[in-house]
Structure 1
């Protein structure tokens, strides 16, 4: 009986202790009252790029100050960092274009119009030196040569693409939200070479990858994380996550996966090995913090959100109204390990 009691006590202590590991350590105030989507970390220059309405705010991560605002990025969604080329590629969803800027000076380099409609997520693949924009309205991916800034191809995807990752060795993976699939793109041939169902996952959005174990982590709108073998599409595990997820990040050092949930939580999943995964803890953040970026140098996590007013009643013209944003409440949350 004593041994059983000790095991129960240790399990109870472990469960309660790990719940204190991660927390919001600070909030960085950012001017502006418009909506937001993805964030991206430039670890070389210690900057954070934050999509924000029709601009991109650049935050110096040493001082937590906004040091630049990149204008004319109407309906901005994603930012891809290419340190080897000293460029950032920004999707302008309302202009059907990609804005390209200098990473160090933030000077404008080019604005490239694409045939795809409503570019959303964007990926820079260092293997092929290509940029992939994922176009929500036209159900395809536009490919740019990252060196010349020229459009080289449009790849049909047969569904609405969401976030994407690269295996850095010639293959690109992208969630297809309305088909509950992951598609694999050959970065050299620039064509789809595999399509995998991730059912029971529904409406996949965020995607991350463990390059060591070849595992994909897809977070879905029905409160599931689906873990997939990136070599053959086999589903390894499904785990519960919070509501309203739109992003996921993987910490390769700690073997932790972070699902950012718009309800105001992060679900943290631990990878013990290639086939063993479990929910590690749930971290309280703030309502609306649904996208996430990891600083691989400091292991800090960044999420953007704001405070909300009352939600209007549904009408025939607007059956799904959104709550208004409270002015001057936009922030970037910094989440880090409290026990380090």
Structure 2
């Protein structure tokens, strides 16, 4: 998910609908459904007034006008295009693609120029897939979760366009989501361990040293840092939004979990709106089980 703060709109990716949903943040109705074969990551550029949506089916990034939502371009990548990360210091977009899903021996982090609406270059990464990307704008590096079977995080120099380090995770943690804590220089890696249990592995963002492992429920995906409150938010597919209070000297206190819904593992936290959005997929039949987005206000 992503937001347009000025236009008060939320963009979400209901995959089963094969569309990108444009939702009003004023009255929460669906403004428009944009045709996208297999929508994944998205980013709205307020300066360009353009919406960029990764289409895994077409192996491309679709670009829509932010006012009319008419398609205005597409950037061709490879099959299985998935996650998206935006670097505000360089105004570049990074999209994960390639790997096993496209019949390639390596994955690719493609660098997208949103002004020209074209691919600038590819960064090759030795893994069968990329699970998550977080960017450190001060060092101009990206932290990339490799395929979950690799159980590792790669450090990518975005200036040199190459991997400069690979940090293996302890135990049998399979990396999925990742968040960078600029204030504390920490990485929080959401991992899937078993069918019922998962972990948040805390790493030093400079050395990759494993500092602590925090138990969570299974099928984690999204993870974010709330700098205002000093908290970690992570969503699990077992139906809970979990959080930890970050204390001094790498201490982490679990807070009461909040119920969401089964398979609601995709989430988005907007510090500007001070809201957590949890994507609930369609399960079963009937309106009560239809796809929806749950919205939470952190307290206090």
TM-score under structure 1 length normalisation: 0.78
Q: Whole-Å Cα distance in 1 between the matches of residues 66 and 153 of structure 2?
A: 31
Within the alignment, does 1:186 sit opposite 2:161 as a pair?
no
Tell me the TM-score normalized by structure 2: 0.88
Corresponding residue of 1:239: 214
Q: Identify which of structures 1 and 2 has the higher relative contact order when contacts are C-alpha pairs closer than 8 Å and 6+ apart.
A: 1
- For residues 240-294 of structure 1, the C-alpha deviation after alignment (integer angstroms, 9 at most, x for no partner) is 0111111112111111111100110011111113522221221111111101001
Q: Is the 8 A contact 1:82 1:126 kept in 2?
A: no
* Higher radius of gyration, 1 or 2: 1
Q: Which runs of 5+ in 2 are unaligned?
A: none
Q: CA contact under 8 A between 1:41 and 1:294: conserved in structure 2?
A: no
CA-CA distance at 1:303 after TM superposition? 0.9
The corresponding residue for 2:142 is 172
Task: Please show how residues 258-273 of structure 1 align to structure 2 within 5 Å.
Answer: 258-273=233-248
RMSD: 1.9
Residues 274 and 48 (structure 1), Cα distance of their counterparts in 2 relative to 1, 3 Å cut:
farther
Query: Is residue 43–residue 296 contact of structure 1 (8 Å, CA) maintained in 2?
Result: no
Contact 2:145/2:176 (<8 A) preserved: yes
Q: Displacement of 1:336 after TM fit?
A: 1.9
The 2-side partners of 1:81 and 1:235 are apart by: 34
Instruction: Tell whether the 8 Å contact from 1:215 to 1:274 is kept in structure 2 after alignment.
Output: no
Gaps of 5+ in 1: 1-38, 310-324
Stretch moving more, 167-176 or 254-263: 167-176
2:81, 2:130 → 1: CA distance? Answer: 10
Match of 2:121 among 124, 130, 153: 153
After TM superposition, the structure 1 = structure 2 runs for residues 279-318 of structure 1, keeping only pairs within 5 Å, are 279-306=254-281, 308-309=283-284
- The whole-number CA distance in structure 2 between the counterparts of 1:334 and 1:213 is 27
Task: Indicate conservation of the 8 Å contact 1:217/1:227, yes or no.
Answer: yes
Partner of 1:42: 4
Deviations 1:17-40 (A, max 9, x none): xxxxxxxxxxxxxxxxxxxxxx22
Following the alignment from structure 2 to structure 1, what is the Cα–Cα distance between the partners of residues 210 and 5?
32
Counterpart of 1:203 (choices 166, 174, 178) is: 174
Q: Deviations over 1:112-170 (max 9, x none)?
A: 111x3310111121222221111152422222122212212222211110121111221
Does the C-alpha gap of structure 1 residues 276 and 104 become closer, same or farther in structure 2, counting only changes over 3 Å? Answer: farther
- Give, in angstroms, the shift of residue 307 of structure 1: 5.2
Structure 1 pair 271/201, CA: closer, same or farther in 2 (3 Å)? farther
Whole-angstrom CA distance in 2 between matches of 1:44 and 1:165: 25
Q: CA deviation at 1:104?
A: 4.2
Counterparts in 2 of 1:190 and 1:85: CA distance versus 1, 3 Å: farther
8 Å contact from structure 2 (residues 153, 166) kept in 1:
yes
Does structure 2 conserve the Cα–Cα contact (< 8 Å) formed by 1:183 and 1:194? yes
- The 1:243/1:128 distance shift into structure 2, 3 A limit, reads same
Q: Which residue of 1 aligns with 2:94?
A: 132
Q: 1:173 to 1:44 in 2, by over 3 A?
A: farther
Does residue 330 (structure 1) correspond to residue 288 (structure 2)? The answer is no
2:42 matches 1:79: yes
Task: Verify the 8 A CA contact 1:128 1:187 in the aligned structure 2.
Answer: no
